[in-house]
Structure 1
Amino acid sequence: MGILENKARARLFYKYLSRVYDRINPFVWTEEMRADALTLLDFSDDPTVLDVGCGTGFATEGLLEHVEEVYAIDQSEHQLEQAYAKFGKRGPVHFHRGDAERLPFATDAFDVVWSSGSIEYWPDPVRTLREFRRVLKPGGQVLVVGPNTPDDPIARRLADAMMLFYDEYEADRMFKTAGFEEVRHAFMGPSYSPEVAITTVARAPE
């Protein structure tokens, strides 16, 4: 388990990173990548949407291009403060501070659960994905963006020492073990590293 696959350490990390997050983030998680990921989801019929690990609201902003309101949750109060400054505490985004492993929402509450830049910090990804499945309506969609494992063995060891990196085979295993169906993957990234991220889309059983 990597250093940042620990909730307390991750919160401390984001206490400081939140101050510069929106200046650094575009170098690894671009608007083009966000737009490409959004095309993988079905937003017909005005779905209810949850953004898990919303951070400062970068993905939330993209989701609001497709739906009128978004529920958003993050464990970092410092990241959420940045998000409040963008969207306000009352408006189209319903913010919650909480844990992805214990979502404070009813079973079968959402049509879409989105999570980008969060899975790499989860101590138990399968447990968290099962929690996503719990809050999804039958047939609902999940989309998770995470870091693709590096090809270079040395880079891979360094990456794994920090947080979770995984390939499409591990993603397939995690999502299917959590009970999802129709699991598919897409690689994306900025021009200088076009496969830095792996995006997985799947559905909850009907």
Structure 2
Amino acid sequence: MGVLEDKARARLFYKYLSRVYDRVNPFIWNEEMRDEALEWFGIESGDRVLDVGCGTGFATEGLLEYTDDVWGLDQSAHQLERAFSKFGKRGPVQFYRGDAERLPFADDTFDAYWSSGSIEYWPDPVAALREARRVTKPGGPVLVVGPDYPKTTLFGALADAIMLFYDENEADRMFAEAGFEAFEHRIQQRAPGTPRAITTIARVPEAGPAEGDGSALGESS
């Protein structure tokens, strides 16, 4: 487990990063990449969407261009304070402080689930993905953006020591174990030589859950 996959360390990390997050983030995950992912997401006006790991609200802003029913959740009080400064505590977004692995919502609450730049801090990604499936209505999209595994051994070892980095094979395993049957992975990158993001678009099964039976096959592109 990487250093920042510990929840307490991650909260401390974001206490300081939140001050400069909106200036740093575009070098890794910019508006063009976000907007491309939003097109793949395929939500419509009126859809109720949960933004997990919403942080300061960068993805939330993009989601609001598609629907006015957006809910944001983050474990960092400091990140949420930044979000409140943009949207207000009683503005267009309902914000919650909470844990991706134990979402405070009933089954089938949302039409769609979005999480960008959060999975790398989850100690148990499969548990969090099961929660994503649980709170999203059958047939609804689940989109997760995380850091693609570095291609060199040196940077790979460094990445493993810090947080979760994963490739398409590992993404296949996690989503299949979480009970997803249909999903695909797409690689995004701001520019050659910059960090790569792996974006997975999944669908909540229409029928009963397939809890970790190993039968799900991911599609990669």
Shorter-chain TM-score tier: over 0.9
Q: State the Cα deviation string for residues 57-87 of structure 1 (Å, max 9, x = none).
A: 0000000010012000000000000000000
In the alignment, which residue of structure 2 is the partner of 1:83?
A: 83
In the alignment, which residue of structure 2 is the partner of 1:52?
A: 52
SS at 1:151 equivalent: coil
| Partners of 2:45 and 2:67 within 8 A in 1 | no
In the alignment, which residue of structure 2 is the partner of 1:39?
A: 39
SS at 1:51 equivalent: strand
Q: State the Cα deviation string for residues 134-172 of structure 1 (Å, max 9, x = none).
A: 101111110000000000001000011000000011101
**Contiguous gaps of at least 5 residues in structure 1:** none
| Partners of 2:189 and 2:195 within 8 A in 1 | yes
CA RMSD of aligned residues (A): 1.0
CA–CA distance in structure 2, aligned partners of residues 200 and 188 of structure 1: 11
In the alignment, which residue of structure 2 is the partner of 1:171?
A: 171
CA–CA distance in structure 2, aligned partners of residues 192 and 57 of structure 1: 26
CA–CA distance in structure 1, aligned partners of residues 186 and 195 of structure 2: 9
Per the TM alignment, residue 45 of structure 1 is displaced from its structure 2 partner at its CA by: 5.6
Question: Across the two proteins, how many residue pairs are aligned to each other?
Answer: 206
Counterpart AA for 1:24: V
Per the TM alignment, residue 176 of structure 1 is displaced from its structure 2 partner at its CA by: 1.0
In the alignment, which residue of structure 1 is the partner of 2:136?
A: 136
CA–CA distance in structure 2, aligned partners of residues 31 and 44 of structure 1: 19
Counterpart AA for 1:136: T
| Partners of 1:188 and 1:194 within 8 A in 2 | no
Q: Relative to structure 1, is the Cα distance of residues 42 and 167 closer, same or farther in structure 2, using a 3 angstrom cutoff? A: same
Counterpart AA for 1:135: V
Structure 1 segment 82-161 matched on structure 2, within 5 A: 82-161=82-161
SS at 1:137 equivalent: coil
In the alignment, which residue of structure 2 is the partner of 1:188?
A: 188
Which TM-score applies when normalising by structure 1? 0.97
CA–CA distance in structure 1, aligned partners of residues 145 and 193 of structure 2: 15
Q: Relative to structure 1, is the Cα distance of residues 13 and 144 closer, same or farther in structure 2, using a 3 angstrom cutoff? A: same
SS at 1:131 equivalent: helix
Per the TM alignment, residue 194 of structure 1 is displaced from its structure 2 partner at its CA by: 6.2
| Partners of 1:187 and 1:194 within 8 A in 2 | no
Q: Show structure 1 runs of 4+ deviating over 6 A.
A: none
Identity of aligned pairs, percent? 67
CA–CA distance in structure 2, aligned partners of residues 50 and 161 of structure 1: 30
Counterpart AA for 1:54: C
Please say which of residues 192-201 and 112-121 is displaced more in the overlay.
192-201
| Partners of 2:108 and 2:134 within 8 A in 1 | yes
**Contiguous gaps of at least 5 residues in structure 2:** 207-221
Per the TM alignment, residue 104 of structure 1 is displaced from its structure 2 partner at its CA by: 0.7
